[in-house]
Amino acid sequence: MFSKRAISSVLAVAAVLVLAGGLSLGRNGRPAPASDFDPASEACTVIMVGRDASTDGSVMSTHAADCGVCDFTWRHVPAADHKPGEMRRLYNIDQIRTWPPAEGGKWAMVLKDPTAVEIPQPAHTYGYHHSVFGYMNDQQLAIAESTIGNVRKLANPTPTPATNITQLTLLAMERCRTAREAIKLMGSLAEEYGYGYHDGGEMLAVSDPKEIWVFEIMPVGPLWTPKTGKPGAVWAAERVPDDQVSVCPNESRIGEIDLGNSDYFLASAHVVSFAVEQGLYDPKGAKPFSFKKAYSPAEGSALSSNGRIQRMWRFFDLVAPSLKLKAETPDMDLPFSVKPDAKLSARDVMALTRDKSEGTIFDPVRGLRGGPFKNPNYYKGTRLISVPNVEYTTLTQCRAWLPDPIGGIVWVALGAQDTSCYIPFYAGATEIPKSFAIGDHFVLDRASARWAFDYVDFHVQVAYNAAIEDVKAARKIWEDGALDRIGEIDAQAGALYQKSPREAIRLVTGFGLNNAQSVVGAWWKLGDDLWVKYNHLGSYDAGKRRGGRIPTANPEWWNKAVRAFDVLNEPEK
């Protein structure tokens, strides 16, 4: 039984919370997922934009490498020619595991864990940029990833499968020019050599200058071996219409498939029969086959999950508010893709990756959630498109009107999206800055580019709503500056490419290296400036040599809430 004093105290706090807009009356728990993966626990959001849905005709995709402890280093793998009979070893690659820099880091240690499988090398492999996954090659093939999980019985955690999602993306980068080629290669290799071990159900956005596809792949259970003679993976792919956009927030997106329409659908031959065999689909029932409902169902909606799975609804509501999609619509019933109300630019897509559901019931600074400095990273009750624990975010652009080495761009924002800056690297660039290739979460390294952005992010958290404005001002110089310069670099490199492709590639490589060096240097200085400016939770003006109070600090609503909480916790007399 509660005393009258305790009850009145609770009501007092509730009144403050309601006035502040932060009380959620009723919390509907999300049903346990049917797969061994809970999408509410992840935040790898992939945004996809068809060429006719973008302002400039580029095909775009994004990937947020959500992890918090994963490897964040970047590398360039050069193009290479291979002799007849040369073989390529496949390796076990764990997305999550890392090793200390003193041991050589992730990519040196991966080479110490080979599978038993070798496959023939083609005569030529393409150059590409990669981090946890392969992102773009010099043919403008681009990839983005989101883990989607699978029905538990399909998991294959044994070391028998020789392919995993990272290895598949690297092979696609090496060997493919188009999205269709990549999908067919990855699917066929996974079927032949098995898929799984470290990975379960995965989604890849696979794009080229003309198309963008959703590719989804699942393991086929722990009993599979090559000796069974059966495919070691099941997969499907669906093309995003050219004038539409789509999103994958760690949930399977492919529903009904029409394999008679190869312009929009591709799949393994046993995609339906395997589901029937596993008891995941009844062909005698009234409902048509749905890939996601059979292999990776995810129940719930933005509203029923209290915002834990609101990213899909949020994205569609941002790009097509005219559709008036409701937050209570089950995610499994939301559309595969939509036509945006307005075409999207690269700048628009960058802004989408930084979205924190501002102004919605899922806003992380609503009421008391963000504290006195309205920090959206305190409250963990909702899952946002922009989250603080990302290794990096990519935005790839594939552009048909330029030669491949110049037409493709991968923009990289190291660390948290809201405090970082997108940095461009052309597809044909033959070098990534050395500062991007080093670093580790557990060792501060001032030679590592990533640590410059973590340095800024750490200082922003102290007085978020004030400090984030300083970050935005810096981004206006460096991110907007790069976006504004791309057209000029395109023109110079495009004209030079007609005379000397090699010189054009040197130009775009140099641009990427110089710009990245400047941005990283600017972010180290920004971190220093923030430390000084907001030291002791004050506001220090170095130019005027004056100290003061942060205007947004200590708001009265916060003081009222604290007093109400104190009343609640007064000891009984």
> What is the Cα–Cα distance from 14 to 450, expressed in whole angstroms?
42
Question: Which residue, of 441, 471, 495, is where some domain finishes?
Answer: 441
- If asked whether residues 230 and 203 sit together in one domain, one would say yes
Whether 31 maps to a domain, the answer reads no
Model confidence at 40: pLDDT above 60: no
User: What string of H, E and C letters represents the secondary structure of 89-101?
Assistant: EEECCCCCCCCCH
pLDDT band at 570 (very low <50, low <70, confident <90, very high): confident
- If asked whether residues 399 and 307 sit together in one domain, one would say yes
Residue reference for tokens 């009234």 = 286
The first and second tokens of residue 408, run together, are 């493709």
Whether 460 maps to a domain, the answer reads no
- By DSSP bridging, strand 124-125 and strand 212-218 are unpaired
Instruction: Spell out the alpha helix ranges (H) of 334-463.
Output: 346-353, 404-407, 449-460
Whether 512 maps to a domain, the answer reads no
**pLDDT of 369-422, one tens digit each?**
999 999 999 999 999 999 999 999 999 999 999 999 999 999 999 999 999 999
- If asked whether residues 335 and 391 sit together in one domain, one would say yes
Q: Please, is 79 exposed, middle or buried when counting C-beta atoms within 10 Å of its C-beta (0-12, 13-18, 19+)?
A: middle
Question: Which residue, of 401, 421, 441, is where some domain finishes?
Answer: 441
Whether 116 maps to a domain, the answer reads yes
Whether 34 maps to a domain, the answer reads no
Model confidence at 28: pLDDT above 80: no
- If asked whether residues 137 and 19 sit together in one domain, one would say no
Regarding predicted confidence, which is higher, 166 or 36?
A: 166
How many structural domains are present in the chain? 2
- By DSSP bridging, strand 87-91 and strand 45-49 are unpaired
- If asked whether residues 79 and 208 sit together in one domain, one would say yes
Whether 457 maps to a domain, the answer reads no
Question: Facing residues of 538 across strands?
Answer: 549
- If asked whether residues 94 and 8 sit together in one domain, one would say no
- If asked whether residues 150 and 269 sit together in one domain, one would say yes
Residue-number span of the structural domain to which 175 is assigned: 39-52+59-441
Question: Which residue, of 441, 475, 505, is where some domain finishes?
Answer: 441
Whether 90 maps to a domain, the answer reads yes
Residue 554 CB coordination number (10 Å): 11
Whether 493 maps to a domain, the answer reads no
**DSSP code of 227?**
G
Model confidence at 22: pLDDT above 50: no
- If asked whether residues 237 and 352 sit together in one domain, one would say yes
- If asked whether residues 223 and 334 sit together in one domain, one would say yes
- If asked whether residues 236 and 356 sit together in one domain, one would say yes
- If asked whether residues 135 and 93 sit together in one domain, one would say yes
- If asked whether residues 16 and 86 sit together in one domain, one would say no
